Chains A and B, each alone.
Chain A
Amino acid sequence: MSTIQKIDRRDFVKLFGLASGGIILGCSVAADSKDFIPSAHITGFNPNLFIHLQKNGNIILIASRSEMGQGIRTSLASAIAEELEADWQYISVEQAIGHEKYGNQNTDGSRSVRTRLEPMRKMGATAKMMLITVAAKKWNIATTACKAANHFVINTITNEQIFFGDLAADAAKLPIPKEKNIQLKKVKDFKFIGKNLKSIDLKDFTHGTATYGIDVRIPNMKFAAITRCPVTFGTVKTFNKDKAGKVAGVEAIFEMPRLLPPTGKFFGMLGGVAVIANNTWAAFQGKIALNIEWNKGVNENFDSEEFKKTLTKRVQKIGKLVPGIRGNVNTAFDASAKTIEATYHVPFLAHAPMEVPNATAWFKGDKIEVWAPVQDPQTARSELAHFFEIPIENITVNVTFLGGGFGRKSKSDFVVEAVAISKKINAPVQVVWTREDDIQNSFYHATSAQYLKGSLDRQGKVTGWLQRVGFPSIVSSFKPLSEYGSGFELNQGFTNNPYAIENFRLENVKAEANLRIGWMRSVVHIHSAFGINSFVDELAFAAQKDPVQFHLDLLGKDRIIEGKSKFPFNSKRFKNVLTTTAKTANWGEKLPKGHGLGIAVHYSFYSYIATVVEVSVLDKKVKVENIWTTIDCGLALNKDNIKNQLEGAAIFGMSLALYGKISAKEGAITQNNFYDYQMTRMKDAPKIHINIVDAMHEPPTGVGEPGVPVIAPAICNAIFNATGERVRSLPLSELGMV
C-alpha cells in the first residue's frame, strides 16, 4: 500500500517551481500494471499524488491524470475535501506535467478512481489530523475534544474555531501521523463522496477560456499540417510543392520520414509531407495544393469488404483453441434438442474526438517542451527521448485540457510530429490534424467477426457454447505480424464469460492488420458484448423464454469468481443490475405498436452494467426512444459525473450502432469527415435514464467505458423484439435502418 510522506518545501519548489509554505503531502501510488505498454520504471519513494495546504487556506491538488471529459479532476478533489473537512471553494486542481514522479499517468482503462481514491482520502485525513493536533495544543485540550468542519478546526468545549490556513504553518512542522492512527470517515458521514458534485472547470467551459491543446499560443509559433499516405505505412515517392509554396502564408514544405517505433514500444509517426505556415488555414490550404506520389507499400490492396468476407469464412472453421475449455461442445451439440448458429460483425471504427489530434512543440537544442492534449504524457515523453536522443529529464510535456480522447490521445504520434517539425524549423510549432486526417490516419478500433453456436436441451437450457472470434490485434501496432488476439484483449468479455454453461469452448482465428489498430473507449468489450448479448437473445427466442430470465438462468448458482485482480466477479451483482434495469424499464409490459425492448448486460472494467433500449420502427426506420442503464461501479464517487458519463456512453454506443463504420478500398479509408462518418445528434438522442446501484462499501470500479458495450446489442435486440428482424452486422445505416 501507498505511504504518505511530508514533502520538504525546497524539494517541492524544485519539483514544481511553485512558491510554497504550509503543508505539502505526497503519496506514492504503485503504478498499476498497464496492459501492454511497459511504463516508466520507478524506484524508491516517488510521491505521485500531492496536496498542498497553503497559509491562505487554499488547497491545491496536483492531478496526475488527464482530463478529457471524464471529470477526474473533480473526483480526486472531492476525496481530499471529504476527509479534510474542507470548504469546496478553497480547492483547486493543477494539472501535472508528464513525469515518472507521478506514477503511471496513462488515462485509460477506466482506472483513475479505482487506483487513487484511497490514497487521496488518506492524505486528506492525514492533513486533518495534523491541523487538529496544532489546534489542540493551542487550546491546551485533547485532540479528541477538537473536530474539523468546513475549513475550520473547532474546539468542541468552547466552540472557538481556527481557520485551516492559520494552522498550516505550524502543522507543517509536525511529523506525519502513523498510518494506523489515520481514521477514514464512515460512508454515512460522507458530504462529498457519493454526492452530486459539479465539474470544477465549468466557468472555463462556459466562457471559452479552457485551454485545449489546439488553443496553445506561444510567441512566434508556426502552424503545420501534414499530408500522410492514405495507405497505412506508405511513404513519399516524389512530391511537387510549387503550387503549395505559392499559398499565402506558407513558409516551408518538406518531407517527414516515417519514424518506426522499436518493437514493443511507442507509436512513432507515419511521415509524409509537412506544410509550415503562419496560420492553420494556410497550412491546410498548402496541404490541399500539394502534389504527392506515394510508394503505397504492403497495404496497397487492402479492402475492408473483402476482409470482412475473409474473416467470416475463417470463423466458420476451427481456430486456435483459447484456454478455458469445459466439457465437450460437440457431444453437447449432438445430444441437444436444438442448435443455433450465428455470425456477427462490427466494422473498424475511429474515435473522432471533437478536438482533433494536435500538439505544440518547441525543440530548443538540448531541451524539448511540449503542450498537448495527451492521455499518456509519460509515454509521449519516453518516446521523445528515444527518437530525439534528448535526456528524459530535459523533456517537459505539459498536459492541456483534452477535447475528448476516447483512446486516440493516448497514442502520441502527433506529439512526435510536432517535435520533429520544431527541430527542423528551429521554432515553436503547432501541428493540427484536419478532421479528414483524423478519420483517415487513425489507430482504428479493430473490425471483428465472430461465430457462435449454442445448443438447447428439451427444457430450453443451454448445454453447449462455442464462440470463435477474429479481429486484428492492438499488439500489431507494437509488434508487426501479431495475428491473433492477445490475452488482455481476449479477456475483455470473451474468456471471462460468466455464464455457467457445462460445455464451453472458445477459439480465436487469424486476423492480420492492414491499418494501425488501437484501443477505443471500452475496446474489445464492444464486440464481445455485441456477440454474446445478441446470441443470448437468439437462444432465448429459440427456447421461447424471456430474455431477462434467460440471462439469469445462464448465470446459474450465485457465486464469486476470483480473478487475478482484487476485484472478484460477483454474479449476484451482475444479476442485480439486470433485474433492476428490467424493472425500471417496465420490462414485460405492453408496448405501443411498432415498439420493442431489448436488453444487454455486461461486466467490464470491474463494473456491472445492464441496459434496456426501447426502439420504435416505422417504415423500416429505427428510432431509439429510451435507454435505461443501471451500473454497479462500487463506491460511486461523484454521482452526477457518473450519470453524465453513462449518458454520454449511451450516445457514443448509439453512434457506433447506428452509423459507425470505417472502410478501406485499395488500402485507403473511404470516409472523410462528419458527413460520411456520422455521429448521433440531438434529434436522434433518446431519453436516457441512469440508475446507480448503492454499493458504497465496495471499492470503486470503472465508469468511463463500461456504458458503451451494452448499447449496440440492446438496440439490436429491441429491433428484433419490435420487428422479428435480427441485425447481426453493424451499423444500422448500412442496412438502411436509419
Chain B
Amino acid sequence: MDINLSINGKLHAVQVQEDMPLLWVIRDIIGLTGTKFGCGVSQCGACSVLIDGKLTKSCGIPVSDAIEKDIFTIEGNSENLEFLRQAWTDGNVPQCGYCQSGQLIAATSLLDLIEKPTDKDIDEAMSANICRCGTYTRIKKGIHTAVKLKNETK
C-alpha cells in the first residue's frame, strides 16, 4: 500500500506491505542505514528510533503503526542528541560503533524524559540495548557528561 512517512522532518512516500517492520522500510526502502538490524526480535535495541518522541524498537512494529507520526532516527538532529554526540566524542565511547546509533537514540529518549538521570535510571533505561563490544562504562559516563555539557551552555 502507499504510505507516507515523516522521518526527521522529511516526508517519504513509499509503497510497501503494511506489515513490514518499520526498520526495513527505513533501511531498505528509504535507504537510511544508520538505524541498525541486530536481532529482529526486540532484544538488542540496535534498531531504536523515536516515534512521536517515544523510544521504539523499529524491528518490532509494522510500518502501518508509524503512519502520520514523527519518526526520529540517528540521522536526525535534536538538542539532547547533539550534547550526547559531543559527550560520546569526548569520552571516545564507540568501539565498532555498530550499536551506537541505537544507544544514542535510547540515551536521547532518556534525557528527553529525565533531565538529570542517576546511575540507576541509566541502568534501567539502557539495559534494552546490547553492546557486544562492551562500551557500557563509557555510555554511562557519556550520558552524565551530556547532562553536564548541557548545563554549562545554559
Name A's B-contacting residues (CB within 8 A): 67-71, 196, 198-199, 201-212, 214-215, 217, 223, 248-249, 279-282, 284, 352-356, 401-406, 432, 434-435, 640-641, 644-645, 647-652, 673-675, 679-683, 685, 687-688
Question: Which of A223, A403, A682 meets B97, CB within 8 Å?
Answer: A403
Residues of A close to B27: CB separation below 8 A: 280
A308 CB to closest chain B CB, in angstroms?
26
Contact between B94 and A205 (Cβ–Cβ < 8 Å)? Answer: yes
Residues of B close to A673: CB separation below 8 A: 39-41, 43
A397 CB to closest chain B CB, in angstroms?
19
Residues of B close to A687: CB separation below 8 A: 137
Contact between B92 and A199 (Cβ–Cβ < 8 Å)? Answer: yes
**Interface residues as binary, B82-101 with A (CB distance below 8 Å gives 1, 0 otherwise):** 00110011001011111111
Contact between A281 and B138 (Cβ–Cβ < 8 Å)? Answer: no
Question: Which of B24, B127, B134 meets A652, CB within 8 Å?
Answer: B134
Question: Which of B21, B35, B132 meets A208, CB within 8 Å?
Answer: B35
Contact between B133 and A206 (Cβ–Cβ < 8 Å)? Answer: no
Residues of A close to B28: CB separation below 8 A: 223, 279-281
* Sample (13) of A-B pairs whose CB atoms are under 8 Å apart: A69-B96, A198-B92, A202-B89, A204-B97, A207-B85, A208-B73, A217-B31, A354-B130, A354-B131, A354-B133, A641-B92, A651-B136, A682-B129
Contact between B96 and A206 (Cβ–Cβ < 8 Å)? Answer: no
* B66 proximal to A (CB < 8 A): no
* B112 proximal to A (CB < 8 A): no
| Apart from A208-B34, A356-B38, A435-B41: 13 A-B pairs, beta carbons within 8 A | A69-B96, A205-B88, A206-B94, A207-B75, A217-B33, A281-B21, A354-B36, A403-B36, A404-B132, A405-B96, A435-B38, A687-B137, A688-B137
* B29 proximal to A (CB < 8 A): yes
Residues of B close to A688: CB separation below 8 A: 137
Contact between A647 and B96 (Cβ–Cβ < 8 Å)? Answer: no
Name the residue on B nearest A204 (C-beta).
B97
Name the residue on B nearest A674 (C-beta).
B43
A279 CB to closest chain B CB, in angstroms?
4
Contact between A644 and B95 (Cβ–Cβ < 8 Å)? Answer: yes
A379 CB to closest chain B CB, in angstroms?
21
Residues of A close to B124: CB separation below 8 A: 683
Contact between A640 and B92 (Cβ–Cβ < 8 Å)? Answer: yes
Question: Which of B32, B43, B98, B104 meets A206, CB within 8 Å?
Answer: B104
Name the residue on A nearest B105 (C-beta).
A208
- Interface set, chain B 110-154, CB cutoff 8 A to A: 122-124, 126-140
Contact between B95 and A70 (Cβ–Cβ < 8 Å)? Answer: yes
* B74 proximal to A (CB < 8 A): yes
**Interface residues as binary, B36-67 with A (CB distance below 8 Å gives 1, 0 otherwise):** 11111101101000000000000000000000
**How far, in whole Å, are A356 and B39 apart by their CA atoms in the complex?**
9
**How far, in whole Å, are A69 and B126 apart by their CA atoms in the complex?**
20
Question: Which of A196, A210, A645, A681 meets B95, CB within 8 Å?
Answer: A645
Name the residue on A nearest B90 (C-beta).
A198
Contact between A434 and B98 (Cβ–Cβ < 8 Å)? Answer: no
**How far, in whole Å, are A69 and B92 apart by their CA atoms in the complex?**
12
> How many chain B residues touch the partner (CB < 8 A)?
56
**How far, in whole Å, are A435 and B101 apart by their CA atoms in the complex?**
18
Question: Which of A203, A208, A354, A680 meets B75, CB within 8 Å?
Answer: A208
**How far, in whole Å, are A248 and B29 apart by their CA atoms in the complex?**
14
**How far, in whole Å, are A696 and B107 apart by their CA atoms in the complex?**
38
Contact between B44 and A685 (Cβ–Cβ < 8 Å)? Answer: no
Residues of A close to B98: CB separation below 8 A: 69, 212, 353-355, 401, 403-404
**How far, in whole Å, are A347 and B81 apart by their CA atoms in the complex?**
41
Contact between A682 and B136 (Cβ–Cβ < 8 Å)? Answer: yes
Residues of B close to A204: CB separation below 8 A: 97
Contact between A435 and B40 (Cβ–Cβ < 8 Å)? Answer: yes
Question: Which of A217, A432, A434, A649 meets B134, CB within 8 Å?
Answer: A649
**How far, in whole Å, are A682 and B40 apart by their CA atoms in the complex?**
20
* B11 proximal to A (CB < 8 A): no
**How far, in whole Å, are A645 and B92 apart by their CA atoms in the complex?**
12
A245 CB to closest chain B CB, in angstroms?
16
Residues of B close to A196: CB separation below 8 A: 92
Contact between B127 and A682 (Cβ–Cβ < 8 Å)? Answer: yes
Residues of B close to A282: CB separation below 8 A: 17, 20
**How far, in whole Å, are A248 and B135 apart by their CA atoms in the complex?**
39
Contact between A682 and B104 (Cβ–Cβ < 8 Å)? Answer: no
Q: Which of A68, A282, A682 has the most CB of B within 10 A?
A: A682
Contact between A199 and B21 (Cβ–Cβ < 8 Å)? Answer: no
**How far, in whole Å, are A383 and B37 apart by their CA atoms in the complex?**
28
**How far, in whole Å, are A151 and B132 apart by their CA atoms in the complex?**
38
Q: Which of B27, B40, B98, B127 has the most CB of A within 10 A?
A: B98
Contact between A403 and B34 (Cβ–Cβ < 8 Å)? Answer: no
**How far, in whole Å, are A217 and B44 apart by their CA atoms in the complex?**
24
Contact between A208 and B137 (Cβ–Cβ < 8 Å)? Answer: no
Question: Which of B29, B97, B104 meets A401, CB within 8 Å?
Answer: B97
Name the residue on B nearest A640 (C-beta).
B92
**How far, in whole Å, are A687 and B128 apart by their CA atoms in the complex?**
19
B125 CB to closest chain A CB, in angstroms?
8
**How far, in whole Å, are A644 and B95 apart by their CA atoms in the complex?**
7
Residues of A close to B35: CB separation below 8 A: 208
Question: Which of B24, B126, B133 meets A682, CB within 8 Å?
Answer: B126
Residues of A close to B129: CB separation below 8 A: 681-682
Contact between A679 and B130 (Cβ–Cβ < 8 Å)? Answer: yes
Given A205-B94, A679-B132, do A354 and B38 touch, yes or no (CB 8 Å)?
yes
Contact between B43 and A680 (Cβ–Cβ < 8 Å)? Answer: no
Residues of A close to B46: CB separation below 8 A: 354
Name the residue on A nearest B44 (C-beta).
A674
A624 CB to closest chain B CB, in angstroms?
12
Name the residue on A nearest B123 (C-beta).
A683
Residues of A close to B131: CB separation below 8 A: 354, 651
Name the residue on A nearest B82 (C-beta).
A206
Name the residue on A nearest B24 (C-beta).
A281
Contact between B104 and A648 (Cβ–Cβ < 8 Å)? Answer: no
A320 CB to closest chain B CB, in angstroms?
36
A531 CB to closest chain B CB, in angstroms?
24
**How far, in whole Å, are A203 and B85 apart by their CA atoms in the complex?**
8
Contact between A279 and B139 (Cβ–Cβ < 8 Å)? Answer: no
Contact between A280 and B24 (Cβ–Cβ < 8 Å)? Answer: yes
The list of the 7 closest CB pairs from A to B, nearest first, reads A208-B34, A651-B134, A403-B98, A69-B96, A69-B95, A208-B74, A205-B97
Residues of B close to A674: CB separation below 8 A: 38-39, 41, 43-44, 130
Name the residue on B nearest A356 (C-beta).
B37
Contact between B44 and A401 (Cβ–Cβ < 8 Å)? Answer: no
**How far, in whole Å, are A644 and B96 apart by their CA atoms in the complex?**
11
**How far, in whole Å, are A201 and B73 apart by their CA atoms in the complex?**
19
**How far, in whole Å, are A210 and B95 apart by their CA atoms in the complex?**
12
Question: Which of B41, B92, B140 meets A675, CB within 8 Å?
Answer: B41
**How far, in whole Å, are A116 and B92 apart by their CA atoms in the complex?**
23
Residues of B close to A404: CB separation below 8 A: 95-96, 98, 132-133
Residues of B close to A405: CB separation below 8 A: 96
Residues of A close to B101: CB separation below 8 A: 208
